[in-house]
Structure 1
């Protein structure tokens, strides 16, 4: 069976590249196609020596640093990739990869990280944060996003099997593309985050400090609970708002950016980890569970796929209903009444292992092959 794997673009080894890495393990003889490839040499190890085939975007002026400027050309570029002769095409999509052209007798399975958020329900937020709400550039961007929505829905119709990374993304796929999707959770390196049963008397929040993560409400909540310790790890543009919400409370410690080993140590030792964002999935929540650490998270998005809340007989955390400090304070009071087993948290995390992902994706394909 001749196989092609289609990925969006390569410029860093991040979340979608970890999915790509496991897809390459599933189909080690597959050819790899991308819109463009500017991955640094020291991050290319997971490709196993493969040289991806690219589109004309690779050769455009300034593309190495500014390839996202050419988003409007990417649908055209992805459609120029020649899939002739392949029996199986597996795409890894958060923008345009699913748009490769396939024909009868070819099976196209697309793993969807998310429909283009900035073109659909988050358009207003994107325009606001980019300063494009008004003016000529704003008008052009609105027109471009309108065209992308039309192409996005049309190209989704050409995929044989859509696979969402969470039930939340499956809901978004149904909303914007009117297609049903299977759910296969993304692979998480649960072995790197090993179990530690002994916990210390602090809670942890580790995140990029950007507005949608809502770290400021966690800081506000703990500033109002002086008897509870909070460690905040990470940095970013929203840090001034987080520090302001913390109000110099002595029970809140800011650690800034830390190395991977220190992050694992802090996660292993925490009494609980907190997550206030509405995420597509939420790999950091799985990593905390792998350490045997309970999660207290906002109850929308991917957290519902990960955390097992009461009244389940073996809960692994809590979901709070509103993105407010008061909701977090209430959740902490309930958390004090629970007896959550680190072993149960660890067992829960194993559902999201590399092996579990590979097995599920290969089963999806096998079910559709003759």
Structure 2
């Protein structure tokens, strides 16, 4: 008679590591905090170093040809689904991402499935209209059929979860609305000790990825009307060249592209304030990092930013229908002296989202 296999340590399953992002850091922080092994779809050289990964890490090494947007989610989902039996050897499984939940064992498997949900996939639910043009063309019917199949699989995977954790009240409401499940909010961790006040070097800073939904174009347009104010854009993305052309007549706007972590922290620490105005952000780590350095944030009263930025105390929240002129007005209302006066409130607010609080919250769920 074959004896049952001894249960392995906790397991964290995550989609992939392509950049040094907040979601990726969250997963590595969680795995370290609960002594977990780690399973993921693939990893690129632009992500975190080997030292950040637990010894019990396994890379599914998804082929490069399948890592392209449009193919990646479905390819990862299929690959993770093949891992269910191996994943079931672990008594505690935490899933993070869009495709990783497909690895969750079904009913009858011992142990617990815990889902840390950064958001239900925007392309399936609240931002379908934004992604709809990508489903056209000769292969449009096949793409739509594939998307419908992915949605069914995703919702079935969520149905196998024993506990769902949301990264914000905003995401908790999406989970309830789109998936019919309740969840527990545990805010993502900010390494608050790594962001420190470095004075003020006379510029405002944007760190959002350069993509349409981040609305960096409106920030650029605002500073084109304020030649006496300096804007530094420290990020890259698909819109980089378009935005550079948009700002070609504005010497007060500087594009740095992606910068390393040390330089980014210095840029945040030496800014007057940061500006971050995406569409319905799930949580938004950038404002918290800014506040950890004592820097207020010009944000927008949408999504997770309503939970992090205290309007008038740690920044200024613009209305959802803001225009470049509203950003310009907010900059005028937040000169260097007023921004500096917010330092203490910003630093105190950031501690609400510290690594320690995240670890405490997740350990309680994992051990419960």
CA positional deviation for 1:101 = 1.5
Deviation sequence 1:19-48 (CA, Å, 0-9, x none) = 2211212221x34333x3445598332223
Aligned length: 351
Unaligned runs of 5+ residues in structure 2 are: 1-6
Partners in 1 of 2:220 and 2:16 — Cα distance? Answer: 36
2:210 and 2:240 in contact (8 A); partners too: yes
The equivalent of 2:218 in structure 1 is 217
Partners in 1 of 2:250 and 2:72 — Cα distance? Answer: 46
The equivalent of 1:326 in structure 2 is 325
The equivalent of 1:290 in structure 2 is 292
The equivalent of 2:3 in structure 1 is none
Give the match's secondary structure for 1:194: coil
CA positional deviation for 1:108 = 1.9
The equivalent of 2:264 in structure 1 is 263
Measured at CA, do residues 12 and 202 of structure 1 come closer, stay the same or move farther in structure 2, by a change above 3 Å? closer
Give the match's secondary structure for 1:152: helix
Measured at CA, do residues 276 and 42 of structure 1 come closer, stay the same or move farther in structure 2, by a change above 3 Å? closer
When the two chains are superposed, the root-mean-square deviation of aligned CA atoms in Å is 2.8
CA positional deviation for 1:365 = 3.0
Segment of structure 1 superposing worse, 245-254 or 259-268? 245-254
Measured at CA, do residues 73 and 200 of structure 1 come closer, stay the same or move farther in structure 2, by a change above 3 Å? closer
Measured at CA, do residues 51 and 239 of structure 1 come closer, stay the same or move farther in structure 2, by a change above 3 Å? closer
TM-score if structure 1 supplies the norm length?
Answer: 0.84
1:205 and 1:231 in contact (8 A); partners too: yes
Give the match's secondary structure for 1:227: coil
TM-score if structure 2 supplies the norm length?
Answer: 0.84
Partners in 1 of 2:170 and 2:285 — Cα distance? Answer: 14
Partners in 2 of 1:191 and 1:347 — Cα distance? Answer: 12
User: What are the equivalent positions in structure 2 for 1:239-250 lying under 5 Å apart?
Assistant: 239-246=240-247, 248-250=249-251
1:21 aligns with 2:6: no
1:38 and 1:64 in contact (8 A); partners too: no
Measured at CA, do residues 155 and 255 of structure 1 come closer, stay the same or move farther in structure 2, by a change above 3 Å? closer
Partners in 1 of 2:38 and 2:269 — Cα distance? Answer: 37
CA positional deviation for 1:316 = 0.6
Give the match's secondary structure for 1:139: helix
Unaligned runs of 5+ residues in structure 1 are: none
Give the match's secondary structure for 2:254: strand
2:234 and 2:255 in contact (8 A); partners too: yes
1:133 aligns with 2:113: no
